[in-house]
């Protein structure tokens, strides 16, 4: 089946806002909904706010979770399969004149790419807040955040283009598997057969942060997913994510995401009821 052009807005429940050079659309997709291969007229950035889905570009599927970011060039065919829960996204279309300006400093919107939760989560959450607020300053904030997302994604992309050595990729895998445990620089370095000083230097060079900062981001990302998907207490989540107590967890969470864990969870729950209502309306349209 040949892909066809598809508008961002698929339901009367979707909400659109325009700022200079960008059009933002808040979308709601019901559980189990499927979009066959299609493309969009304008390059766009998709910010996943709630729910999960699979986006397939060519033959490569991306599992999209809350706080993920997808970059799509204009005309890029892709398909979407939504999961067991409703999906809530914020799509930022980049109009041609603004895209020409953006291309002066980055080509991030010239090819499809995906950034998982944790890498740009603070910017995704900030954009969601501005979109809901929409006061007189919101257009300026939205424009600034969009450019910051593009800049940060470009930095991350340039780092990944410099292929790290095999031993460093193995060290990173160890960290992903054991981030909630008590890790030390020496233990990770010993596991891959290098000196701790060399690991520290190479990790920062290729991944843009210290090993400790990276572990902290993984723990906070995992905690944010538990807050979104479970009813576990904050203390239980803090321990499961590797923090030594709830207070320490709450402090770092607020520094990273701008809100406390309790406020973060309450905001997600407040959105779920209207999302479910909107999805019912969507199915009846």
Could you read off the pLDDT of 185-217 as tens digits, one per residue? Answer: 999 999 999 899 999 989 988 888 899 999 999
Please state, in angstroms and as integers, the Cα–Cα distance from residue 166 to each residue in 189, 193, 202, following that order.
13, 11, 12
- Domain 166-267 classified CATH 1.10.10.60? yes
pTM of the model: 0.63
The count of C-alpha atoms lying within 13 angstroms of the C-alpha of 14, restricted to the half-sphere facing its C-beta, is 22
Could you read off the pLDDT of 97-132 as tens digits, one per residue? Answer: 999 999 999 999 999 999 988 788 889 999 999 998
CATH C-level class of 4-161 = mainly beta
Residue the block writes with tokens 């892909």: 3
Q: Do domains 4-161 and 166-267 have the same CATH topology?
A: no
List the domain boundaries for the chain: 4-161, 166-267
Give the count of beta carbons closer than 10 Å to the beta carbon of residue 84: 8
Give the count of beta carbons closer than 10 Å to the beta carbon of residue 107: 11
- Strand-pairing partners, residue 24, are 17, 92
């Amino acid at each position: 089946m040949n892909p066809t052009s598809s508008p961002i807005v698929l339901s009367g429940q979707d909400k659109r806002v325009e700022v200079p050079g960008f059009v933002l659309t808040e979308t709601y997709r019901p559980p189990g909904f499927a979009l066959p291969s299609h493309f969009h007229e304008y390059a766009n950035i998709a910010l996943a706010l709630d729910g999960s889905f699979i986006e397939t570009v060519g033959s490569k599927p991306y599992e999209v979770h809350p706080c993920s970011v997808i970059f799509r060039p204009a005309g890029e065919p892709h398909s979407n399969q939504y999961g067991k829960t409703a999906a809530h996204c914020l799509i930022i279309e980049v109009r041609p004149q603004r895209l020409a300006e953006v291309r002066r400093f980055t080509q991030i919107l010239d090819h499809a790419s995906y950034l998982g939760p944790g890498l740009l989560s603070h910017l995704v959450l900030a954009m969601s807040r501005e979109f809901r607020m929409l006061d007189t300053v919101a257009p300026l904030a939205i424009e600034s955040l969009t450019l910051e997302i593009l800049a940060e994604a470009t930095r991350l992309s340039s780092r990944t283009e410099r292929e790290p050595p095999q031993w460093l990729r193995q060290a990173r895998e160890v960290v992903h598997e054991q981030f909630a445990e008590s890790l030390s620089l020496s233990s990770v370095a010993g596991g891959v057969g290098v000196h701790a000083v060399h690991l520290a230097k190479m990790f920062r060079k290729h991944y843009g942060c210290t090993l400790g900062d990276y572990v902290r981001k993984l723990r906070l990302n995992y905690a944010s997913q538990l807050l979104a998907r479970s009813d576990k207490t904050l203390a239980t989540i803090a321990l499961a994510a590797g923090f030594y107590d709830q207070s320490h967890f709450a402090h770092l969470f607020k520094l990273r995401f701008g809100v406390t864990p309790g406020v973060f969870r309450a905001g997600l729950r407040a959105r779920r009821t209207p999302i479910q209502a909107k999805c019912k309306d969507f199915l009846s349209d």
